[in-house]
Structure 1
């Protein structure tokens, strides 16, 4: 009898040209065991942080959202559900709209002012040949100091009669103002205090970014004819500071949105609603007026606005940042 022909590709032996040896059962088992051990190691390292994130962030957020759906008053022993009634009241409240506008204007003043001045001071300190540590410490001190004590100092400086600011203006023959009681000046003054407080933090981060820029890039810029400081700043320094600038922008914006101490100590949201911020509105409604359900609704809206604006800012700036 003739021997039957073998069909192409039906051989049980591995192809000599494939170069791939099939894994045996013990090898497959060992690979799975390694993967399980690696996953367990990863979860054991990330687990504590995830647990803290859930306890310290997600559970409080869910609790606040749950309270926002009720009519609970702080200290009351009972509550009832009102659905989305608190949120409808929030968006119909003129006081909330005023505090929202004030917060956005405050952020629009503080963030660019902090970034520009922080970068300028960092460039000046980096170009200095002496006393760098002293200058860094002096500018970083406001960020480390207690804002409550600093706010009291600012209140003394801005006093309408005996304050140093008005006394200086009088000596120069310039008009004075009641800075913290005038609707036209109170918000810019609070923005100046916010810039002063965050300036040292931005400066330190920009100094770290400047030290990380390779000197070879400046040498190459000089070779290409960019020997003026403005050309070096435009072609080398600013592009290389892109990631640092993005980080400073987001952090300072978050801190500006969360401003509370200066408003509470200096103005109490006045005069009228001229200096009232969203976080102060949450505090006032929840703990002064004891409308905890309504205050929780304001807090939820505030959190949503902050998260949305932060994501938009990060997305827009990320397109302009060059990562090296």
Structure 2
């Protein structure tokens, strides 16, 4: 009588030599472990990826689709017009003026915020007392609601009863209607932007200053760099490179998003002197109800900001010293 066959899936089978042959799974333990880790990673990151797609990528796709239509806010029908909105955007003199105004605003706000933020951080770090008080005072504008602060600035800059003009008149300097003069309106908004972002830059620079090893300053003293300017040039600024790059990028993004002060103080005037990109987008989409045109402005704005941010990051990254 022949011997019964081993059951399918049995782990032990007789080999030709009379020994026992062990059955091995086709999937190795390393692969099973890697698959389990990948599954766990997606389980943890899945909700964040989902909400990122829903809250960021889907609106961007929606805005791009609307930019290809003639849809007006509240309308029940629309038709595709292709790139007509983009051609109108680039041919619009007002849009080109808003681009120039935005660039000028950014070029004033970013250097001013970085320079004065670093200066205040150096002064606070070199002080011996009341550091927490000074940090809180300078950080308060960043935490405050910019719309409320804009109203306060409007009162300060009032042409007749404003504190700024009264102070200038008291010391014999000429006064001006700061927010209604085409030559001063945009620089004044830029000064408010510097004031609002100053505390944020200061806090980041303070954190960077505390991370610089004291040994580097001691070595600089040994090498003869004992003056504060030499220490700043040879030690402080190079070691603050990563922090400076982060501050420049973040402040530039916030400057490109300037809207609140324009809406509250100038409404784009006088004569489109303060008409920035985001206010143009708002006016075309929600005041004139030209939503398709406004979406095209939003797409162009997004492309400009992303391109400049990538170029800025690439250029600054080459000059930054990482520890």
Runs of 4+ in 1 over 3 A off after TM superposition: 24-28
Corresponding residue number in structure 2 for 1:310: 309
What does the per-residue CA deviation read over 1:275-297, in whole Å, with 9 as the maximum and x for residues that have no partner? 01100000000000000000000
Counterparts of 2:113 and 2:239, CA distance in 1 = 19
Deviation at 1:27, TM superposition (A): 9.2
Corresponding residue number in structure 2 for 1:66: 65
Corresponding residue number in structure 1 for 2:198: 199
Classify the secondary structure of the residue corresponding to 2:231: helix
Corresponding residue number in structure 2 for 1:216: 215
Deviation at 1:164, TM superposition (A): 0.5
Counterparts of 2:107 and 2:100, CA distance in 1 = 10
What does the per-residue CA deviation read over 1:107-159, in whole Å, with 9 as the maximum and x for residues that have no partner? 00000000000000000000000000000000000000011110000000000
Classify the secondary structure of the residue corresponding to 1:183: coil
Instruction: Map residues 120-135 of structure 1 onto 2, 5 A cutoff.
Output: 120-135=119-134
Deviation at 1:28, TM superposition (A): 5.7
Corresponding residue number in structure 1 for 2:175: 176
Instruction: Say if 2:116 is the partner of 1:117.
Output: yes
Counterparts of 1:235 and 1:320, CA distance in 2 = 14
Task: Please say which of residues 91-100 and 165-174 is displaced more in the overlay.
Answer: 165-174
Q: Structure 1, unaligned stretches of length 5 or more?
A: 1-23
Q: TM-score, normalised by structure 2?
A: 0.92
Counterparts of 2:72 and 2:161, CA distance in 1 = 42
What does the per-residue CA deviation read over 1:204-245, in whole Å, with 9 as the maximum and x for residues that have no partner? 000000001111111111111111111111111111100000
Classify the secondary structure of the residue corresponding to 1:114: helix
Q: Structure 2, unaligned stretches of length 5 or more?
A: 1-22
Classify the secondary structure of the residue corresponding to 1:287: helix
Corresponding residue number in structure 1 for 2:240: 241
Corresponding residue number in structure 1 for 2:95: 96
Counterparts of 2:26 and 2:233, CA distance in 1 = 57
Counterparts of 1:210 and 1:25, CA distance in 2 = 59
RMSD, aligned CA: 1.1
Deviation at 1:174, TM superposition (A): 1.2
Counterparts of 1:25 and 1:212, CA distance in 2 = 55
Counterparts of 1:219 and 1:28, CA distance in 2 = 59
Equivalenced residues, count: 301
Q: TM-score, normalised by structure 1?
A: 0.91
Mark the CA change 1:25 to 1:250 in structure 2 (over 3 Å): closer, same or farther: farther
Deviation at 1:45, TM superposition (A): 2.1
Corresponding residue number in structure 1 for 2:291: 292
Corresponding residue number in structure 2 for 1:55: 54
Corresponding residue number in structure 1 for 2:318: 319
Corresponding residue number in structure 2 for 1:37: 36
Counterparts of 1:303 and 1:201, CA distance in 2 = 24
